[in-house]
Amino acid sequence: MKYPTDVLPAWIADMDLGIAPAIANDLHQRIDCGDLGYPCADLEAKFIDAFSDRYLEKFNTPLDPDLGLVSTDVVQSIVISLLTLTEPGDGVIVQTPIYPPFLHSVEDTGRNLLENALIKSNTSWEINFEELEILASDPRTKLLLLCSPHNPTGRVFTQTELVKVAQICARHNVLVVADEIHCDIVYQPNYHIPFASISPEFAVNVTTMNSATKSFNIAGLRCSVVHFGSAELKARYERYDAPVRGSISSLSLIAATTAWQKGDSWLESTLATLERNREMLSEFIRANSFGIEYLAPQGTYLGWLDFRATKAATAPGEYLLREGRVALSPGSDFGKPGAGWARLNFATQPEILEEIFDRMTSAFK
């Protein structure tokens, strides 16, 4: 156990909201029939087809199933993409603050981490395009790791922004690996735009990674997909053969396929709960008198909280754990711009969220 039992955990990006009944039903059927053997190729094909169908139906983005591969999780796929699509010492751009495994993956594979920090305005988080152009123009820069929707800021990038990113990367022959794992968790009027849909010409340089794990709360089953914009990219990635890429269980494939094919009614209800929780967090921030600030996320179920004007500015995660018995993700884990910030997961029951707010208030009083 990471924390003592008296600590309320609001850090890890899992939902405290159960799973879709359709997923539970299909898993029970498989268990009841007594078939927990190795997954067959048919299950993998159905999973890839479900992914491709979803992108077409929900995002109007056709993705060739033949260019998709099954993977255990997105982080593993990011590591393999760095090992196969770049060389040691190559520059890899990340847009900080960013999900910590992005940073670790670049450093652990011996690539050169290039931070293109997002800029906070009064109303949004913006891409620093001038700096992105400079970083991409270096001939040693080979790849951009794009997190869209963005974790931890919750930013959902617009068509105009993504086109500018694609144009910059195209000018300088920079590949894009797009982690779109939070694509289903977006609040109106915002909407997710797959990076592979920006243009047919640039799509050949895009690797898309996704999973049903975040949207449908099945992260422990570990099942994801990697889709390539070209056969050439896929062949490079497959230099690491299947045993190295990992193997998926039958239950994982069934759960993920069911999620994308039958889980949308549950997801719609869950999004309504998340939106109410997001508003609860916004109300708490507006009412607080101890200096916490934040911008309501356009997507994800994560609040990126600014403690720099509070007495917890040095290490807000440690302060709240000590004084309030609440565990948030320390902002410093998300890169240099995260100092003085912390990430709060609001995907829980409203009464638990209220208790988190009460503890945070007590910690500062």
- Picking from 207, 195, 199, 190, the residue whose alpha carbon sits closest to that of residue 154 is 190
CA 155 to chain centre: 11
Say what the pLDDT of residue 273 is: 97
DSSP state, 147? E
Say what the pLDDT of residue 243 is: 74
CB 112 within 8 A of CB 91: yes
User: Whole-angstrom Cα distance, residue 143 to residue 132?
Assistant: 12
CB 70 within 8 A of CB 223: yes
Mean pLDDT score across all residues of the chain: 95
Task: Pull the structure tokens for residue 87.
Answer: 């060389």
DSSP state, 302? E
Residue 19 has pLDDT above 90, yes or no: yes
Q: What is the b/e burial string over 262-277, where b = at least 16 CB atoms within 10 angstroms of the residue's CB? A: bbbebbeebbebbeeb
pLDDT tens readout for residues 233-287:
999 999 887 777 778 889 999 999 999 999 999 999 999 999 999 999 999 999 9
Q: What is the b/e burial string over 38-66, where b = at least 16 CB atoms within 10 angstroms of the residue's CB? A: ebeeebbebbbebbbebbeeebebebeee
pLDDT bin (cut points 50, 70, 90) of residue 25 is very high
Mean pLDDT of 29-41: 85
pLDDT tens readout for residues 125-157:
999 999 999 999 999 999 999 999 999 999 999
Say what the pLDDT of residue 41 is: 85
Say what the pLDDT of residue 1 is: 63
Residue 189 preceded by cis peptide, ω within 30: yes
Say what the pLDDT of residue 207 is: 98
- Picking from 129, 193, 117, the residue whose alpha carbon sits closest to that of residue 153 is 117
- Picking from 310, 276, 274, 275, the residue whose alpha carbon sits closest to that of residue 290 is 310
DSSP symbols for 61-80: ----GGGEEEES-HHHHHHH
SS3 142: strand
Residues whose CB falls within 8 Å of the CB of residue 54, separated by 6 or more in sequence, listed in order: 260
- Picking from 333, 330, 365, the residue whose alpha carbon sits closest to that of residue 10 is 330
pTM exceeds 0.85, yes or no: yes
For 67-76, 109-118, 239-248, 270-279, which range has the lowest pLDDT when averaged over its residues?
239-248
Mean pLDDT of 173-177: 98
Mean pLDDT of 291-315: 96
Q: Which domains are assigned to the chain? A: 8-19+265-364 (3.90.1150.10), 21-262 (3.40.640.10)
User: Whole-angstrom Cα distance, residue 364 to residue 312?
Assistant: 8
Mean pLDDT of 46-73: 96
